[in-house]
């Protein structure tokens, strides 16, 4: 599968039967995430926001996964690069802008947490920690609870390949294997842990090669092909819901941007490599496929672009107009209040 | 070896200034040049130069074997420091943010700190684990932790917190040549601050508290970036005729408490300032040392603590600012103490 990336950047739609309207919706979600992400970079360069961590280039696996699951019914424990996943799951550019600007009313944490750490209670999205891979054992716990309650939900979690060097990854996946949990773990392998290339992170060629040691299914997919990603996540979800246990999916992709707004990737990788990967851009590939299939035309693309710009402009304006939280807003929510209803009966 | 003077001429010329980050880098470079057993391991410390640029350029000088980029594995960074140190090396590990040291706690608390004791004194574990702590960069609760007191509570670990570039170099060299595991807590906001740093390989002994400023009216015991804020507060207070004495423990454990006690005997009042949350923070230890000493008889006000609020560090910069002590808070608290308002 990895070698496919070296050849024609097509779309593998085998076994995928989706309505044209759904395919257009997938395209819209990828485009909307891309434009939102690009706006965040602009805002950072303008000095308007303190921090951005980008998901550009990762939209195919993220949107493919969100469409293969049941947003708000299944549980999601995404990682910081998953803007497109979150937007496709129900989070909005307005929510994201409030987070970027750290303003009052920011829905995930009231502007206490850094942007891109997510967490939307109403959508079953669980907040991520900054230290990486902590979500994997948590996702195993979510999946265990699903199994104990006899539900047909799935716990979905994602991380970068760099995070698979953490012990938490192994412990969580081992649990998932031992207890045959309804867990889908997607590793978005973009071949860099900030500056450290993948060959200095692991001595096996693929993250998914580790699946047998957990006793779970391992799958490698072209992470820049949204339909191939959709298919493997869909299959993993069916396996999980039918009692077949967990799946470790490795989506081979690339991060054309720096790790975050705090680093300069020119110090650790050649420009030619970045340019080469830009040719495999997941959004451009899907757009070409849809144009060729007659599902999109130039006018429709222009309409989507205008719609994205209008939504993002509105979200940015609203966030910029929102006030800072008052200093005392930092004091709440350290402890949950005592719930009188939980008192033991006399 | 370390008392060699490389730069006798220095006194003649202009005072040489380095940033805190440069001072740390120079300490590592000089130590590595002299001793092949010293090497660096950590995340992104090679071509990238470390998240805060402290190790910038060292990989070019010493190569990727001695400036080793690691996978994202804090437990493995700490564990391999221990293993290498047990066999005669002197590793310097870097934990990219102090928050991430939580992922290496078992190795540090149960292994590094106890190995010598459990080996009946027949082993030593000489390594330094450098890590930047502190808030003020808009990085929220999981990139801004100030966790030094967790390690102070573990016998067998030394805990060092330099407050300026001069101390950073001298303390790091002492930490490198110490035969014990040293948790070396740097501060993100101090990396770009400058001070006079001699080129020679000077050492500042561990466990030697330092009077950073003399004064008669109040003893302020501060750590890390709070030493700088206390010194700024001292300038403001001096204009009002209040002279505070600032004591910087520099090594938090084992603590040299004599300069603190002697200072309080002189001033009769004490304020402890640190960034970590108040409850369970290092200030409690300082207060207890003062209260249990002969300085108790000289106190004419309650000993006060000014520290972080008991909340996680928030992202929004206004919330973040108000979470930890700032210069104006120190000024106000010092005034109240000196004026007898407590």
ipTM of the complex: 0.81
Give contacts of A 217-246 with B, CB under 8 A.
none
Beta strands in chain A (DSSP E): 75-77, 155-160, 183-189, 192-193, 196-197, 217-222, 247-252
- The rounded distance, in Å, linking the Cα atoms of A68 and B154 is 49
Residues ≥6 apart with Cβ < 8 Å to B218: B242, B244, B245, B267, B269, B270, B271, B334, B337, B338
Which residue in this structure is represented by tokens 């757009």?
A: A287
Closest Cβ opposite residue B69 in set A112, A200, A331: A200
Inter-chain touch A330–B314, beta carbons under 8 Å? yes
- The rounded distance, in Å, linking the Cα atoms of B186 and B140 is 18
Pairing between β-strand A247-252 and β-strand A217-222 as defined by DSSP bridges:
parallel
Q: What six digits make up the tokens of B116?
A: 């010598």
Q: What's the gap between Cα A137 and its chain centre?
A: 17
Query: For position B179, what pLDDT does the model report?
Result: 96
Identical fold for domains B14-196 and B210-338, yes or no, is yes
Query: For position A9, what pLDDT does the model report?
Result: 73
- The rounded distance, in Å, linking the Cα atoms of B308 and B210 is 23
Judge whether residue A139 has pLDDT over 70.
Answer: yes
What is the fold of A5-344? Rossmann fold (3.40.50)
Rounded to two decimals, the pTM is: 0.89
Judge whether residue A140 has pLDDT over 80.
Answer: yes
Domain boundaries, chain A: 5-344
Query: For position B12, what pLDDT does the model report?
Result: 52
Q: Can you spell out the DSSP letters for B72-102?
A: S-HHHHHHHHHHHHHTT-EEEEE-SSGGGGG
- The rounded distance, in Å, linking the Cα atoms of B232 and B229 is 5
Domain boundaries, chain B: 14-196, 210-338
Give contacts of A 53-72 with B, CB under 8 A.
none
**Is the sign of the CA dihedral B1, B3, B8, B10 positive or negative?**
positive
Give residue ranges of B with CB < 8 Å to any A CB.
43-44, 46-49, 51, 69-76, 97, 99-100, 102-103, 138-143, 309-312, 314-323
Contact B219, B295 (CB under 8 A): no
Q: Helices H, strands E: what count in chain B?
A: 12, 14
- B83 — alpha (psi -120 to 50), left (phi > 0) or beta? alpha
Neighbours of A11 (CB within 10 A): 21
Q: A276-297 burial string, b = 16+ CB within 10 Å, else e? A: ebeebbbbebbbebbeeeeebe
Q: Compute the mean pLDDT over every residue in chain A, rounded to the nearest whole number.
A: 94
Q: What six digits make up the tokens of B44?
A: 């992104």
Beta strands in A190-261 (DSSP E): 192-193, 196-197, 217-222, 247-252
pLDDT tens for A37-46 read 999 999 999 9
Contact A253, A189 (CB under 8 A): yes
A307 is catalytic: no
Query: For position B148, what pLDDT does the model report?
Result: 98
Q: Does A172 touch chain B (CB under 8 A)?
A: no
Judge whether residue A203 has pLDDT over 70.
Answer: yes
Host H or E run for residue A285: helix A282-292
| Top CATH class, B210-338 | alpha beta
Neighbours of B266 (CB within 10 A): 16
Strand order across the beta sheet in which A75-77 lies: A75-77, A155-160, A183-189, A247-252, A217-222
Residues ≥6 apart with Cβ < 8 Å to A126: A75, A76, A77, A118, A119, A135, A138, A142
Which residue in this structure is represented by tokens 């130590």?
A: B31
Inter-chain touch B71–A262, beta carbons under 8 Å? no
- The rounded distance, in Å, linking the Cα atoms of B85 and B100 is 21
Q: What's the gap between Cα B99 and its chain centre?
A: 15
Consecutive 10-residue averages of pLDDT for chain B (342 residues): 45 82 98 97 97 98 96 93 92 98 95 91 94 96 96 97 98 97 98 98 98 98 98 98 98 98 98 98 98 98 98 96 98 97 94
User: What are residue B304's DSSP bridge partners?
Assistant: B271
CATH superfamily of B14-196: Thiamin diphosphate (ThDP)-binding fold, Pyr/PP domains (3.40.50.970)
Q: Does A205 touch chain B (CB under 8 A)?
A: no
Band the pLDDT of A343: cuts 50, 70, 90: low
- The rounded distance, in Å, linking the Cα atoms of B157 and A345 is 47
């Amino acid at each position: 599968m990895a070698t496919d990336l070296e050849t024609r950047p097509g779309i593998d739609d085998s076994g995928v039967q989706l309505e044209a309207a759904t395919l257009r919706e997938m395209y819209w979600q990828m485009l909307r995430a891309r434009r939102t992400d690009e706006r965040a970079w602009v805002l950072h360069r303008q000095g308007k926001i303190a921090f951005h961590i980008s998901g550009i280039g990762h939209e195919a696996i993220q949107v493919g996964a969100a469409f293969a699951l049941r947003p708000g019914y299944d549980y999601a424990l995404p990682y910081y690069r998953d803007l497109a996943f979150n937007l496709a799951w129900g989070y909005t550019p307005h929510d994201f802008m409030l987070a970027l600007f750290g303003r009052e009313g920011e829905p995930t944490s009231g502007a206490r947490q850094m942007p891109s750490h997510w967490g939307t209670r109403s959508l079953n999205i669980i907040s991520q920690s900054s230290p990486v891979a902590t979500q994997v054992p948590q996702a195993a716990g979510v999946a265990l609870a699903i199994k104990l309650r006899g539900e047909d939900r799935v716990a979905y979690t994602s991380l970068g390949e760099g995070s698979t060097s953490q012990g938490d990854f192994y412990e969580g996946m081992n649990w998932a294997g031992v207890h045959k949990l309804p867990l889908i773990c997607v590793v978005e392998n973009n071949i860099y842990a900030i500056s450290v290339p993948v060959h200095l992170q692991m001595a096996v060629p693929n993250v998914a090669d580790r699946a047998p040691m957990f006793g779970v299914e391992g799958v490698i997919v072209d992470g820049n092909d949204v339909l191939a990603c959709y298919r493997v996540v869909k299959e993993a979800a069916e396996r999980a819901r039918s009692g077949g246990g967990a799946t470790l999916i490795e989506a081979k992709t690339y991060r054309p941007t720096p790790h975050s707004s705090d680093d300069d990737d020119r110090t650790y990788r050649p420009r030619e490599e970045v340019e080469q990967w830009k040719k495999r851009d997941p959004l451009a590939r899907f757009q070409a496929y849809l144009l060729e299939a007659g599902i999109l035309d130039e006018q429709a693309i222009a309409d989507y672009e205008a719609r994205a710009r209008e939504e993002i402009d509105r979200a940015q304006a609203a966030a910029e107009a929102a006030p800072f939280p008052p200093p005392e807003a930092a004091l709440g929510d350290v402890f949950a209040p005592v719930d009188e209803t939980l008192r033991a009966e006399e | 070896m370390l008392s060699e003077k490389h730069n006798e001429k220095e006194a003649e010329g202009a005072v040489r200034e380095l940033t805190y980050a440069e001072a740390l880098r120079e300490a590592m470079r000089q130590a590595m040049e002299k001793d092949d057993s010293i090497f660096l391991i950590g995340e992104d410390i090679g071509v990238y130069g470390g998240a805060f640029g402290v190790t910038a350029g060292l990989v070019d000088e010493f190569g990727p074997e001695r400036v080793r980029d690691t996978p994202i594995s804090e437990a493995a960074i700490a564990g391999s420091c221990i293993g290498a140190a047990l066999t005669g090396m002197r590793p310097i590990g870097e934990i990219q943010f102090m928050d991430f040291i939580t992922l290496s706690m078992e190795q540090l608390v149960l292994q590094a700190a106890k190995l010598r004791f459990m080996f009946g004194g027949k082993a030593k574990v000489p390594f330094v684990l450098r890590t930047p702590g502190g808030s003020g960069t808009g990085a929220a609760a999981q990139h801004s932790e100030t966790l030094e007191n967790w390690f102070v509570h573990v016998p067998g670990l030394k805990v060092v917190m330099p407050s300026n570039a001069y101390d950073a170099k001298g303390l790091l060299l002492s930490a490198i040549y110490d035969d014990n595991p040293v948790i070396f807590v740097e501060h993100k906001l101090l990396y770009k601050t400058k001070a006079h740093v001699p080129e020679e390989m000077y050492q500042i002994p561990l466990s030697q508290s330092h009077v950073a400023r003399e004064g008669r009216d109040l003893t302020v015991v501060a750590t890390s970036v709070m030493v700088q804020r206390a010194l700024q507060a001292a300038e403001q207070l001096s204009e009002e005729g209040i002279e505070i004495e600032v004591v910087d423990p520099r090594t938090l454990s084992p603590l040299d408490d004599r300069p603190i006690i002697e200072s309080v005997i002189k001033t009769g009042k004490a304020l402890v300032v640190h960034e970590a949350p108040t409850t369970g923070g290092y200030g409690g230890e300082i207060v207890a040392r003062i209260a249990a000493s002969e300085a108790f008889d000289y106190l004419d006000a309650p000993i006060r603590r000014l520290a972080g609020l008991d909340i996680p560090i928030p992202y929004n910069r206004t919330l973040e600012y108000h979470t930890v002590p700032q210069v104006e808070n120190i000024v106000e608290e010092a005034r109240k103490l000196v004026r007898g308002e407590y």
